[in-house]
C-alpha cells in the first residue's frame, strides 16, 4: 500500500526527517511513535501530499506521490493535528462539503455521510454547528471527514490529542473499527496509545526510524531487565537509618542511587535495575541484616523502556541534500 | 467547475451566516449614505448628484473589498482548515476563484442594497438607467479588482493583519499611480497613468456614466493578474 524509500525533508538547512524507508501493507494499522519533534507530523504530511519531500520516493497504492500527488490525494483521508473544520457549518453539511471536495458521486453521498456519522457516533449531533461541539466531538468530526469518502489510506496525526480519558477510550474503539475497512497510519507520542491500537510500530527518533516491529518484537530488542522496588524499615532499637539499609544491600548489583524516606516516614524506598531477578537475594540481604522488608515489587522490561532507549540513541549522520539548481 | 462552485457556495454561505458579514453590509451601507450626504446631496443637478454618489461610494467599495477579501485564505491557513483543501484533489485555481467569486457575490449584494440612493436621485431629476448601470458596473469592477488584490495578499501569509496591510498598501499605491505619473516624463507618464486603479478608469469613465471598453479590459486584466498571482502563490506554498 505504501512504499517509502530514503524519504528526507529539510526545512531550510535543518533536517526534520530522514532518510527513512519503510513499507506498509494493505489493511495494516501502523503507528508512528516518537517524542515531540521526532518528525512524525512531517512524515504524515508528506504521505498526505501536503508537504513535498526534499529527497526520496513515496508511492501510495502504486502511484508515485511526487509525480502525481493529485491522484494520491484521491486515495487518502487525512486528519491533521488540528482538525480542519468550519465552525459555522453543521456536521452534516460539512461532511457533504468534504464529499464534494473528494469527488464522491452525488448518488453515494447520502449513504457515505450516514456511514461516517454512524461509525464516528455523530448521528445525534449531525444537525449541530461544529462550533458548538465539545473538543471530543470536533475530533470525531475530524476523523469523519477523513473517512467519509472511504479512502484506501487513512492518516491520523495525534488523533487522541487533547481528549479526556473517556474520549481516548472511545477514539481507540473508533480506530479499531477503521481497521476493518482501511489501511490506517497514525502518530502519537503516547506509547500506550500506539501499542493498543496498531498492528505494528515505527519508532521515530530525531527524524529517523530507530525501531520497527510489533510490541513484542520491539521488546525483544532489549536485553531482559528487571526493575525491583522495595521498602525497608529499620526496626526500633537498631541504629543506622538509611546508612544501615544501604549497607545491607551493598552487595546487590544495580542498586540505583540512594534510599528515599517513604511518604509516611515509616521506612526507606529503594530501586534496583538488574539483568536478572534479584528478589530472592534482596530479601535474604535485608532480613539477614535484621531489617524489616515491608514491600518487594518486580516487573520485567516493558515497551516504555524500549521506546525511551530507542529514541535516546544518537542519530545516524546523514548528508545534507544537494543544492537546488 | 464543480470544485469552484463548491468552494464558492461554502464561502458565500459563511458570509451570510456570520454576524461579521452583516456588520460589514451595515457599515458599508451606512458609510455610503453618510458620504453621499456629506459630498453629493447638495449638488444642484441630479447627474452631478449621481456622480458624487459614485465618487464617494468608490472609496467605500475599495475599503470594504479589502476587508472582505484579506482573510479568505490567511484565516484558513491560521485555523488549519486550509489543510482540508490542500490535501483534497482540488486545484489551486479552484480554491482562488471559488473564494474570489464568493467575495464578489457578497460585494454585489452590498451594491444591490445601496441602489436605493441612485433610485431616489432618479426620482428627483433627469438621469437615465444607463448612467446608473454604468456607474454601478464601474463600482463592481473596481471592487472586483480590490477583491483580487485582497485574495492575493491573503495567499501570502497566515497573519491576517499582514494580509490586510499588504492589500491596503497595494490598493492605495495603485490609486496613487496617477498622481505619480504627473511627475514622470513620457512614455512612463502614460504607462503609470493607465495602470492607475481609480483616476483614469473610474473617475474619468464609469463614474461619469461613460463606458470605455479599455476601462473594462483594464479592470478584468487587474482581476486576472492578481488572481493568477494568488494561484501561483498557493501552488508554491501547497506542495513545497
Q: Do A82 and A193 reside in the same domain of the chain?
A: yes
Q: Do A179 and A43 reside in the same domain of the chain?
A: yes
A193 in a domain, yes or no? yes
Give the whole-angstrom CA distance, residue A10 versus residue A207.
Answer: 10
Cβ-contact A225, A305 below 8 angstroms: yes
A322 in a domain, yes or no? no
Cβ-contact A135, A90 below 8 angstroms: no
Give the whole-angstrom CA distance, residue A11 versus residue A7.
Answer: 14
A310 in a domain, yes or no? no
Q: Do A83 and A217 reside in the same domain of the chain?
A: yes
A308 in a domain, yes or no? no
Question: Between chains, do B239 and A51 touch, taking CB under 8 Å as contact?
Answer: yes
Cβ-contact B74, B163 below 8 angstroms: yes
What's the domain range around A281?
226-300
The pLDDT tens digits of the residues spanning B12-61 come to: 999 999 999 999 999 999 999 998 888 766 667 888 889 999 999 999 99
Q: Do A212 and A256 reside in the same domain of the chain?
A: no
Give the whole-angstrom CA distance, residue A268 versus residue A249.
Answer: 12
Cβ-contact A139, A83 below 8 angstroms: yes
CA B109 to chain centre: 13
Question: Between chains, do A84 and B84 touch, taking CB under 8 Å as contact?
Answer: yes
A325 in a domain, yes or no? no
Burial A167-183 (b: 16+ CB within 10 A, else e): bbebbbebbeebbeebb
**Averaged confidence pLDDT in chain B:** 93
Q: Do A146 and A95 reside in the same domain of the chain?
A: yes
Rounded to the nearest angstrom, the minimum Cα separation between A12 and chain B is 12
Q: Do A214 and A245 reside in the same domain of the chain?
A: no
Residue A22: which of A190, A162, A211, A192 has the closest Cα? Answer: A211
Q: Do A263 and A283 reside in the same domain of the chain?
A: yes
Considering only CB atoms, which chain A residues are within 8 Å of B82? 84
Q: Do A189 and A291 reside in the same domain of the chain?
A: no
The pLDDT tens digits of the residues spanning A266-311 come to: 788 888 877 777 888 888 888 888 888 888 887 765 666 667 677 6
Of A221, A245, A265, which residue constitutes the final position of a domain?
A221
Say if strands A292-300 and A255-261 run parallel, antiparallel, or are unpaired.
unpaired
Residue B132: which of B113, B115, B144, B110 has the closest Cα? Answer: B115
Q: Do A244 and A217 reside in the same domain of the chain?
A: no
Q: Do A77 and A108 reside in the same domain of the chain?
A: yes
A212 forms beta bridges with A202
Q: What is the ipTM score, two decimals?
A: 0.88
Q: Do A207 and A233 reside in the same domain of the chain?
A: no
The pLDDT tens digits of the residues spanning B131-174 come to: 999 999 999 999 999 999 999 999 999 999 999 999 999 999 99
Considering only CB atoms, which chain B residues are within 8 Å of A80? 80, 83
Of A221, A249, A279, which residue constitutes the final position of a domain?
A221
Domains of chain A: total = 2
* Element of type H or E holding A260: strand A255-261
Cβ-contact A307, A191 below 8 angstroms: yes
Q: Do A292 and A202 reside in the same domain of the chain?
A: no
Question: Between chains, do A48 and B81 touch, taking CB under 8 Å as contact?
Answer: no
Cβ contacts of B102 within 8 Å, gap of 6 or more:
B7, B8, B9, B10, B11, B12, B14, B15, B72
Of A186, A221, A256, which residue constitutes the final position of a domain?
A221
A61 in a domain, yes or no? yes
CATH number of the domain at A87, please.
Answer: 3.40.50.300
All 3 cell numbers of residue B54? 459614485
Amino acid at each position: 500500500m505504501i512504499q517509502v524509500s530514503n524519504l528526507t525533508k529539510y526545512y531550510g538547512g535543518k533536517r526534520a526527517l530522514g532518510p527513512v524507508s519503510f513499507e506498509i501493507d494493505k489493511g495494516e494499522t501502523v503507528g508512528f511513535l516518537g517524542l515531540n519533534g521526532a518528525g512524525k507530523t512531517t512524515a504524515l504530511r508528506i504521505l498526505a501530499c501536503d508537504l513535498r519531500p526534499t529527497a526520496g520516493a513515496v508511492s501510495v497504492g502504486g502511484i508515485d506521490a511526487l509525480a502525481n500527488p493529485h491522484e494520491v490525494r484521491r486515495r487518502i483521508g487525512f486528519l491533521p493535528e488540528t482538525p480542519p473544520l468550519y465552525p459555522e457549518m453543521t456536521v452534516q453539511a460539512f461532511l457533504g462539503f468534504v464529499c464534494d471536495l473528494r469527488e464522491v458521486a452525488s448518488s453515494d453521498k447520502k449513504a457515505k455521510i450516514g456511514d461516517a456519522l454512524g461509525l464516528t457516533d455523530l448521528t445525534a449531533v449531525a444537525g449541530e454547528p461544529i462550533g458548538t461541539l465539545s473538543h471530543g466531538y470536533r475530533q470525531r468530526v475530524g476523523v469523519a471527514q477523513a473517512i467519509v469518502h472511504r479512502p484506501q489510506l487513512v492518516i491520523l496525526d495525534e488523533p487522541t490529542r487533547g481528549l479526556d480519558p473517556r474520549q481516548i477510550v472511545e477514539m481507540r474503539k473508533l480506530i479499531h473499527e477503521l481497521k476493518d475497512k482501511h489501511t490506517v497510519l497514525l502518530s502519537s507520542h503516547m506509547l500506550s496509545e500506539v501499542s493498543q491500537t496498531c498492528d505494528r510500530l515505527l519508532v521515530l527518533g530525531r527524524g529517523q526510524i530507530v525501531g520497527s516491529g510489533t510490541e513484542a518484537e520491539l521488546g525483544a530488542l532489549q536485553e531482559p531487565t528487571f526493575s525491583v522496588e522495595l521498602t525497608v524499615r529499620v526496626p526500633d532499637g537498631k541504629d543506622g537509618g538509611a546508612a544501615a539499609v544501604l549497607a545491607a544491600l551493598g552487595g546487590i548489583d544495580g542498586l540505583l542511587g540512594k534510599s528515599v524516606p517513604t511518604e509516611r516516614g515509616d521506612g526507606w524506598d529503594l530501586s534496583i535495575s538488574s539483568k536478572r531477578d534479584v528478589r530472592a537475594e534482596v530479601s535474604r540481604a535485608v532480613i539477614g541484616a535484621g531489617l524489616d522488608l515491608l514491600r518487594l515489587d518486580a516487573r520485567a522490561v516493558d515497551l516504555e523502556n524500549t521506546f525511551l532507549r530507542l529514541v535516546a540513541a544518537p542519530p545516524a549522520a546523514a548528508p545534507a541534500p544537494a543544492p537546488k539548481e | 467547475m464543480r470544485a469552484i462552485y463548491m468552494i464558492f457556495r461554502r464561502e458565500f454561505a459563511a458570509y451570510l451566516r456570520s454576524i461579521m458579514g452583516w456588520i460589514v453590509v451595515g457599515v458599508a451601507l451606512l458609510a455610503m449614505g453618510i458620504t453621499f450626504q456629506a459630498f453629493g446631496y447638495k449638488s444642484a443637478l441630479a447627474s452631478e448628484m449621481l456622480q458624487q454618489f459614485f465618487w464617494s461610494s468608490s472609496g467605500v467599495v475599495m475599503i470594504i473589498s479589502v476587508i472582505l477579501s484579506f482573510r479568505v485564505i490567511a484565516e484558513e491557513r491560521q485555523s488549519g482548515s486550509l489543510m482540508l483543501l490542500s490535501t483534497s484533489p482540488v486545484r489551486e485555481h479552484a480554491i482562488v476563484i471559488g473564494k474570489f467569486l464568493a467575495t464578489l457575490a457578497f460585494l454585489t449584494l452590498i451594491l444591490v442594497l445601496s441602489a436605493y440612493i441612485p433610485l431616489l436621485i432618479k426620482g428627483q431629476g433627469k438621469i437615465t438607467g444607463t448612467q446608473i448601470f454604468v456607474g454601478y458596473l464601474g463600482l463592481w469592477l473596481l471592487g472586483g479588482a480590490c477583491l483580487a488584490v485582497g485574495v492575493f495578499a491573503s495567499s501570502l501569509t497566515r497573519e491576517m493583519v499582514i494580509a490586510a496591510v499588504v492589500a491596503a498598501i497595494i490598493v492605495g499605491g495603485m490609486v496613487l499611480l496617477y498622481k505619480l505619473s504627473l511627475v514622470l516624463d513620457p512614455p512612463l507618464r502614460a504607462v503609470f497613468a493607465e495602470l492607475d486603479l481609480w483616476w483614469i478608469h473610474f473617475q474619468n469613465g464609469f463614474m461619469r456614466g461613460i463606458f470605455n471598453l479599455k476601462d473594462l479590459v483594464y479592470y478584468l486584466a487587474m482581476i486576472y493578474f492578481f488572481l493568477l498571482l494568488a494561484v501561483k502563490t498557493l501552488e508554491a506554498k501547497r506542495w513545497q
